[in-house]
């Protein structure tokens, strides 16, 4: 069943022209040995080796998300079984009710490679808490250190969370920060520039908030906060991290999946009191099927929505038009378009992620921008009006003397 849940987003992801997410385009170009992207990007050792060895094939590249999503979901299911042997497996399906679970798993980058290992670390840490076995907690800390050193630096968040409940983790955290510098903490914090790094203060005012508007990035999955009824407080630092930086929503998702499973299990045992007799409710026999069915429907809906993620159709069309007009020359563009321009065969000196960040350098060039202010120095070649969920019109200008 979890394979079905995992395959659905892959099916629609394959239909997109460009990998979902700006950073995903960078890592695809990196795996293809594109010489135009920066070579100084700091990618942890094993992640760098992985993408260097990965064949330059777009379907295979997107297939990485399918494999990782499946294994991540299995680990959540096994984590659920720590708390309920009968219904624990449903946690692996119910975690899909967390919007962030699918949203971040389809973005193929170094973060993605870290997810199943970090979720496995949570499994060992929670099992260590339940069994009162510090050896299992040490295994969890070791997995986090492995990820942080060789796969993805954001693993520091897990070390910080574990340190609140385990002295060995606290000692390891302090030693790590003394070695790499306390400035690493800044990397955990959010901002109001890049859409996936929004913090709670900009969450409801930024036009780029996207999925974050749905219960801090979780939608129906936020009902999994029900986990508090079991006094498993490890989820709390991950909840706080979500408020600081929306990027951490996916790391709260496994806890919410387990919480939803416990909610379903308790609902399945609910009895209606009639007089002095407690009678079984008709829905008791179907709660699991109902919730898993809702999760499946939710997954289908979110998978279809992948077709409308950035870069959406109008953006791709605008980039292709700009590349055609540039005719091999360097394009001026808003920095969020850079890697997509490379992907679609163009050339630019401006690349990165996050918007709005409008370019101010367009002398004698084709200009691709979402800047709402008209440009008096350039001739407008074509405009794509904003539509649906998107906030800005897209314009392509010829700034070569207004010709």
User: Do 331 and 348 contact (CB within 8 A), yes or no?
Assistant: yes
Q: What is the pLDDT of residues 187-208, one digit of tens each?
A: 777 655 566 666 665 554 444 4
The stretch 29-48 carries a mean pLDDT of 89
| Cα(365)–Cα(396) distance, integer angstroms | 10
> What is the per-residue burial (b if ≥16 Cβ within 10 Å, else e) of 248-285?
bbbbbbbbbbbbbbbbbbeebeeeeeeeeeeeeeeeee
Minimum mean pLDDT among 29-33, 54-58, 270-274: which range?
Answer: 270-274
Q: Please report, for the chain, the start and end positions of each structural domain, with discontinuous segments joined by +.
A: 2-306, 313-398
Eight-state DSSP code of residue 330: P
Whether residue 144 contacts residue 155, with contact meaning beta carbons closer than 8 Å, is answered with yes
Sign of the CA dihedral 173, 175, 176, 178? positive
Instruction: Look up residue 207 and give its DSSP letter.
Output: T
Low-confidence winner among 7-11, 58-62, 111-115, 278-282 (lowest mean pLDDT): 278-282
Q: Higher model confidence: residue 232 or residue 69?
A: 69
Confidence check: pLDDT of 252 > 70: yes
CA distances from 14 to 9, 19, 394 (A): 9, 8, 25
Give the per-residue pLDDT at 166.
Answer: 97
Q: Helix, strand, or coil here: 156?
A: helix
Q: Does residue 270 have a pLDDT over 70?
A: no
Express each pLDDT in 278-324 by its tens digit.
455 555 567 788 889 999 999 999 999 888 888 888 889 999 999 99
The pLDDT tens digits of the residues spanning 135-184 come to: 999 999 999 999 999 999 899 999 999 999 999 999 999 999 988 887 67
Distance separating alpha carbons of residues 395 and 277, to the nearest angstrom: 70
What's the rounded Cα separation, in Å, for the pair 1 and 301? 17
d(CA 398, CA 363): 10
- Beta bridge partners, 331, equal 348
Mean pLDDT of 221-242: 90
pLDDT at 145: 96
The more confident residue out of 120 and 197 is 120
| pLDDT confidence of residue 359 | 63
Q: Give bridge partners of residue 366 from the DSSP assignment.
A: 398
Using pLDDT thresholds of 50, 70 and 90, give the confidence band for residue 185: confident
pLDDT at 220: 73
Residue 352 has a pLDDT of 65
| pLDDT for 400 beyond 90 | no
Highest mean pLDDT among 197-201, 334-338, 380-384: 380-384
- pLDDT per residue over 350-363, tens digit each? 776 544 456 666 66
């Amino acid at each position: 069943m979890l394979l079905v849940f995992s395959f659905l987003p892959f099916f629609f992801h394959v239909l997109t022209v460009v990998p979902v997410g700006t950073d995903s385009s960078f890592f695809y170009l990196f795996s293809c040995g594109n010489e135009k992207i920066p070579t100084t990007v700091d990618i942890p050792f094993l992640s760098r080796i992985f993408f260097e060895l990965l064949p330059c094939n777009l379907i295979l590249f997107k297939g990485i998300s399918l494999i990782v999503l499946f294994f991540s979901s299995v680990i959540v299911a096994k984590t659920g079984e720590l708390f309920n042997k009968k219904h624990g497996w449903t946690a692996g399906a119910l975690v899909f009710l967390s919007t962030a679970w699918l949203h971040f798993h389809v973005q193929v980058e170094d973060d993605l490679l870290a997810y199943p290992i970090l979720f496995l670390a949570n499994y060992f840490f929670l099992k260590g808490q339940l069994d009162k076995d510090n050896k299992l907690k040490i295994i969890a800390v070791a997995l986090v250190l492995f990820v942080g050193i060789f796969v993805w630096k954001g693993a520091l968040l897990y070390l910080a969370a574990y340190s609140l409940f385990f002295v060995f983790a606290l000692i390891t955290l302090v030693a790590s920060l003394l070695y790499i510098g306390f400035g690493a903490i800044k990397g955990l914090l959010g901002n109001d520039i890049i859409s996936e790094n929004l913090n709670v203060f900009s969450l409801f005012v930024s036009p780029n908030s996207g999925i974050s508007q749905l219960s801090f990035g979780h939608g129906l999955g936020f009902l999994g906060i029900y986990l508090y009824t079991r006094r498993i407080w490890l989820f709390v630092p991950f909840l706080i991290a979500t408020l600081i930086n929306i990027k951490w929503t996916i790391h709260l998702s496994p806890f919410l999946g387990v919480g939803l499973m416990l909610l379903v299990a308790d609902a399945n045992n609910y009895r209606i009191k009639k007089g002095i007799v407690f009678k079984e409710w008709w829905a008791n026999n179907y709660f699991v099927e109902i919730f898993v069915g809702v999760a499946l429907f939710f997954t289908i809906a979110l998978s279809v929505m992948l077709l409308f993620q950035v870069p959406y159709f109008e953006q791709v069309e605008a980039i292709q038009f700009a590349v055609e007009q540039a005719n091999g020359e360097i394009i001026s563009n808003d920095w969020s378009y850079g890697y997509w321009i490379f992907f679609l065969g163009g050339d630019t000196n401006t690349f990165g992620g996050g918007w709005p960040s409008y370019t101010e350098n367009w002398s004698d060039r084709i200009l691709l921008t979402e800047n709402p202010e008209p440009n008096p120095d350039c001739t407008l070649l074509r405009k794509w009006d904003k539509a649906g969920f998107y906030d800005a019109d897209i314009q392509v200008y010829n700034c070569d003397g207004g010709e």
